[in-house]
Amino acid sequence: MTEVTAPAPAGTDTKPSVLIIGGLGFIGRFLAKYIHTNNLASEIRIVDKQLPQLAWLAPEFTDVCTLERFQQGDLSREHTCERVFTRPDGSTWDYVFNCGGDTRYSQDDEIYKQRSLKLSTTAAKEAARKGVKCWVEISTGAVYKSDREPSKETDRLKPWLKLAKYRLQAEEELKQIEGLNLVIVRLANVYGEYCSKVIATILCMARVYAYLKEEMKWLWTKDLRTHTVHVTDVARALWHAADWHTSGRKNWDESMGSTPIFNVVDHGDTSQGTLQKHISNIFGIKTGFHGTIVSSFAKLNLGSAVDEENDEILQPWGDLLNEAGITRPGPITPYLDNELVKDDDLSLDGTRFEKVTGFRYHVPEITEEGLREVIDSYRRLNWWPPIELGNSENGENGQVIAEAASR
């Protein structure tokens, strides 16, 4: 994906200092890279609980996530916050981006309370005390009531993921912190090179079905919305939101609320049908949907249905890795989580962000080529088991598969 360089602020002294919480995570590392590549900040500090050596960083992030920029710490702890927010010259950070929090599905409530909610509130209170110019809080579009129609920022809130419940609670508590210059960004499914969540799971499952030469069937219907946004656009959007806020919040109408809240989602109206079509083309496999009866049964027995699917795909995935000699397969896996297969639409309306702030997307929709780029990124790091010609039932499909894995 070609990155378009943004203009740097005029004069080194005008560039903001930046702190990225959770900066080694998927979004955090791309944000750090965007800021570094475009020379947008006077200083970048990355803070994370994990070490760079354990974060599965691709080579292009080594110049960004350096040990000189990195500070290990758990910002759910007050003493850590005070240490991180205290700069040697006595000044404060200008922009703080909270890319931290637990992004795994189906964790215990206490994990989300500690690693997401408490992290946000504890660090934000310190930011407010220090006078940070802008705090950008990353949230999720799963805070809205599931609906086929795209949700606007003013629509009904009814989180349908456990992690979304605590993201929303963090939003509400941050709004009450006096002096916090807050912007909230609610994201669709984020994908891109090296991603390891929803899109990665689907790609890994498809790889297994290609290996088994079986049809890949999906629950629910082709119309179920799974809206997406590319990680490079997310990085640009986060920076754009902070710049917009500190430049006077142009076009913001106080009738929209005292705290700016924006949905960030591409224009593709991504659905299961969209992904199904791309997967079929990339892997040369037959894809379809289970139908109403099977899906209705699965809805009543979702845990059993998911366990059965995992039993069928995890062993072949292990076989594929063994055959390819892959001993460190990275963070990607075909393992399905119960929350990942819920019959809930992630459907967002991103009009407000573009209309109010003037932001424009560089990747307007998820494409077959975009998914191939994701696979290529896995291959470069030796996470992805290559596909031999002839694995498919016909030569033409085998060629498609081989090209997807080795181009």
Are the beta carbons of 153 and 186 closer than 8 angstroms? yes
Weakest mean pLDDT among 75-84, 208-217, 234-243, 303-312: 303-312
Task: For tokens 């986060």, name the residue.
Answer: 238
Buried b (16+ CB within 10 A) or exposed e, 140-159: bbbbbebeeebbebebeeeb
Q: What is the pLDDT of residue 406?
A: 34
Distances (CA, A) of 268 to 81, 150, 190, 295: 39, 12, 13, 25
- Mean predicted confidence (pLDDT) in 126-131: 96
| Residue 389 clears pLDDT 50, i.e. is over it | no
> With bands split at pLDDT 50, 70 and 90, how would you rate the model's confidence at 218?
confident
> With bands split at pLDDT 50, 70 and 90, how would you rate the model's confidence at 77?
very high
Condensed to tens digits (0 to 9), the pLDDT of residues 251-310 reads 999 899 999 999 999 999 999 999 999 999 999 999 988 765 556 655 666 778 788 889
Are the beta carbons of 381 and 324 closer than 8 angstroms? no
Task: For tokens 């705090």, name the residue.
Answer: 135
> What backbone torsions phi and psi does residue 343 show, to the nearest 5 degrees?
-85, 60
| Residue 241 clears pLDDT 50, i.e. is over it | yes
In terms of phi and psi (left: phi > 0; alpha: psi -120 to 50; beta: otherwise), the region of 76 is alpha
CATH of 17-191+230-266+347-362, one of 3.40.50.2300, 2.60.40.10, 3.20.20.10, 3.40.50.720: 3.40.50.720
∠ CA 389-391-393, nearest 5°, is 110
Q: What is the pLDDT of residue 26?
A: 97
- Mean predicted confidence (pLDDT) in 72-99: 93
Highest-pLDDT range among 9-23, 311-325, 380-394: 311-325
Q: What is the pLDDT of residue 57?
A: 95
Mean pLDDT across the chain: 89
| Residue 388 clears pLDDT 60, i.e. is over it | no
Q: Where are the domains of the chain?
A: 17-191+230-266+347-362
Q: Which of 193, 375, 191, 363 is nearest to 283 (CA)?
A: 375
Distance CA 49, CA 45 (A): 14
Condensed to tens digits (0 to 9), the pLDDT of residues 323-343 reads 999 999 899 999 988 888 888
Q: What is the pLDDT of residue 296?
A: 64
Q: What is the pLDDT of residue 23?
A: 96
Percent of the chain predicted with pLDDT > 70: 89
- Mean predicted confidence (pLDDT) in 139-155: 96
Q: What is the pLDDT of residue 5?
A: 43
Q: What is the pLDDT of residue 13?
A: 58
Percent of the chain predicted with pLDDT > 90: 76
> With bands split at pLDDT 50, 70 and 90, how would you rate the model's confidence at 219?
confident
Q: Which of 231, 224, 155 is nearest to 188 (CA)?
A: 231
| Residue 192 clears pLDDT 90, i.e. is over it | yes
- Mean predicted confidence (pLDDT) in 46-55: 93
Condensed to tens digits (0 to 9), the pLDDT of residues 88-121 reads 888 999 999 999 998 888 899 999 999 999 999 9
